[in-house]
A and B are shown apart, each in its own frame.
Chain A
């Protein structure tokens, strides 16, 4: 994925990698360290919490806990790559695009996801995909990352069930 991101953006110049809270942030960090390793370039890395931009906040009632948003550089004219763990309905990415627009006007925004599970409800498609899978709406994909979960893994589970497969 790191290679594809570099190819897509013609290298590391003007590149900013932004992970979506929570697990997209850790994936973004892994991608950034891979890029640093291969290219020797320092790529700015940000974090985005889209909770306050959700389109269902007026209806969900209970208030989700808000995470930290951190955009380290001016986004005007740069190439932003949004990184998230799982792409499903596309509503998270819609919210992320709105939030990024409040920080500036990037030259280009691309989307990189580890898992695309289909089931889009909005016209949003990823530019870089780790793996595309087909699963039932009743199932859930959990991406586990070392920093939060103790291991890197992708787990498909039934909703409301703890049993992994």
Chain B
């Protein structure tokens, strides 16, 4: 079986547990680079990468940009607003025009599920999915896995509950697939209106009450209530959501064990997560952000080459070099 990631990283659903483990293992040495005084290695010198963001993003875009720059790639940011996309140019035309300027990789964030794959099938450059609609956000899933592994020393056997707006969450899907492939037990918890109808097909436990989830879990991944997608009246009110599903210190104190707290950001403090939980002793929310840069460096590094397994052999062959 090949461990190569191939040309693109579109989601975790298509990857094997071994491939995911290889990405996490590759991310480990990249953590150190961000701690150096000179946070830069020459690995991707001369590579040109376009960050094509059709949706608003601070964390993910900046994280990719740091990852690219710390590998010495040349990165260009294109935001949909203020670009020719606003003039009605199609996704493929935009990408083909960029490719005509001889680029090597595209990092794409798009509101439509499947946009990254659509693009990957039509251009020669490597494509990295930085979030497509409600489908996947693979690098977020990977950084969540890395953060869990850092803390617990393993992923296999961990009980992780994803809390909140699973319906609209690409982070939830990437997490469910990634965690299951790495051998974790996955549960979800949220109002019925914010869980997908097909939730039973995911092979996850469903908790109706957040108290049950807290009692069961080693770690909670608390999703952002996507206020901008809340036009259809999924919940009665933010206050009621907080009262029923909000993760508070009082609720966590009743747990039989310390529960690790993850959140992909940006947080709605006082809605899905209370401030004293977000800033509390079991929160690893900022560790997630730190790990994001390392994970993205690892993905860029691996996609820019081919099969790392082959390389182990060729490195052994040239060990005398």
**A residues engaging B (CB < 8 A)?**
49, 51-53, 57-58, 60-70, 85-86, 88-89, 91-92, 98-99, 102-104, 117, 140-142, 159-160
Given contacts A61-B306, A63-B301, A140-B319, 5 further A-B pairs with CB under 8 A are A52-B301, A62-B311, A64-B312, A88-B321, A102-B41
Q: Does B42 contact A (CB under 8 A)?
A: yes
Per CB-CB distance, the 9 closest pairs between chain A and chain B, nearest first, are A63-B305, A62-B311, A88-B320, A52-B41, A62-B306, A64-B311, A52-B43, A62-B310, A102-B38
Q: Does B197 contact A (CB under 8 A)?
A: no
CB-CB contacts below 8 Å: B24-39 with A = 25-26, 28-30, 32-33, 36-38
Knowing A65-B26, A67-B29, A68-B29, say if A140 contacts B307 (CB, 8 Å). no
A52 adjacent to B42 (CB under 8 Å): yes
21 A-B residue contacts at CB 8 Å? A52-B71, A52-B301, A58-B46, A60-B311, A61-B305, A61-B306, A61-B311, A62-B4, A62-B305, A62-B307, A64-B312, A65-B25, A66-B29, A69-B32, A85-B319, A88-B320, A89-B320, A102-B36, A102-B41, A103-B37, A103-B38
Q: What residues of chain A lie closer than 8 Å to B30, measured between beta carbons?
A: 66
Q: What residues of chain B lie closer than 8 Å to A159, measured between beta carbons?
A: 317
Q: What residues of chain A lie closer than 8 Å to B314, measured between beta carbons?
A: 60, 62, 64
Q: Which of B32, B312, B321 contacts A65 (CB 8 A)?
A: B312
Q: What residues of chain B lie closer than 8 Å to A69, measured between beta carbons?
A: 29, 32-33
A29 to B301, CA, bound (A): 30
Q: What residues of chain B lie closer than 8 Å to A86, measured between beta carbons?
A: 319-320
Q: Does B206 contact A (CB under 8 A)?
A: no
Q: How far is the CB of B300 from chain A (nearest CB, A)?
A: 10
Q: How far is the CB of A162 from chain B (nearest CB, A)?
A: 12
A117 to B318, CA, bound (A): 13
Q: Does B304 contact A (CB under 8 A)?
A: yes
A53 to B42, CA, bound (A): 6
Q: Does B21 contact A (CB under 8 A)?
A: no
B26 adjacent to A66 (CB under 8 Å): yes
Q: What residues of chain B lie closer than 8 Å to A53, measured between beta carbons?
A: 41-43
Q: What residues of chain B lie closer than 8 Å to A142, measured between beta carbons?
A: 319
Q: Does B302 contact A (CB under 8 A)?
A: yes
The bracket for how many chain B residues form the interface is: 20 to 34
A102 to B38, CA, bound (A): 6
Instruction: Encode B294-306 as 1/0 by CB contact (under 8 A) with A.
Output: 0000000110111
Q: What residues of chain B lie closer than 8 Å to A85, measured between beta carbons?
A: 319
Q: What residues of chain B lie closer than 8 Å to A52, measured between beta carbons?
A: 33, 41-43, 71, 301
Q: How far is the CB of A79 from chain B (nearest CB, A)?
A: 20
**B residues engaging A (CB < 8 A)?**
4, 25-26, 28-30, 32-33, 36-38, 40-43, 46, 71, 301-302, 304-312, 314-315, 317, 319-321
Q: How far is the CB of A147 from chain B (nearest CB, A)?
A: 16
Q: Which of A68, A98, A104, A160 contacts B32 (CB 8 A)?
A: A68
Q: How far is the CB of B146 from chain A (nearest CB, A)?
A: 15
A63, A88, A102, most chain B CB atoms within 10 A: A63
Q: What residues of chain A lie closer than 8 Å to B29, measured between beta carbons?
A: 49, 66-69
A64 to B301, CA, bound (A): 10
Q: What residues of chain A lie closer than 8 Å to B46, measured between beta carbons?
A: 58
A65 to B315, CA, bound (A): 9
A130 to B38, CA, bound (A): 34
Q: What residues of chain B lie closer than 8 Å to A63, measured between beta carbons?
A: 301-302, 304-308, 311
Knowing A62-B311, A63-B305, say if A92 contacts B38 (CB, 8 Å). no
A70 to B301, CA, bound (A): 20
B312 adjacent to A140 (CB under 8 Å): no
Q: Which of B71, B310, B320 contacts A140 (CB 8 A)?
A: B320
A117 adjacent to B320 (CB under 8 Å): yes
A141 to B129, CA, bound (A): 43
Knowing A64-B312, A67-B29, say if A103 contacts B36 (CB, 8 Å). yes
Q: What residues of chain B lie closer than 8 Å to A104, measured between beta carbons?
A: 37
Knowing A65-B26, A86-B320, A141-B320, say if A98 contacts B42 (CB, 8 Å). yes
A69 to B311, CA, bound (A): 19
Query: In chain B, what residue has the closest Cβ to A93?
Result: B321
Query: In chain A, what residue has the closest Cβ to B46?
Result: A58
Q: What residues of chain B lie closer than 8 Å to A99, measured between beta carbons?
A: 41
Q: What residues of chain B lie closer than 8 Å to A65, measured between beta carbons?
A: 25-26, 308, 311-312, 315
Q: How far is the CB of A24 from chain B (nearest CB, A)?
A: 11
A51 to B41, CA, bound (A): 10
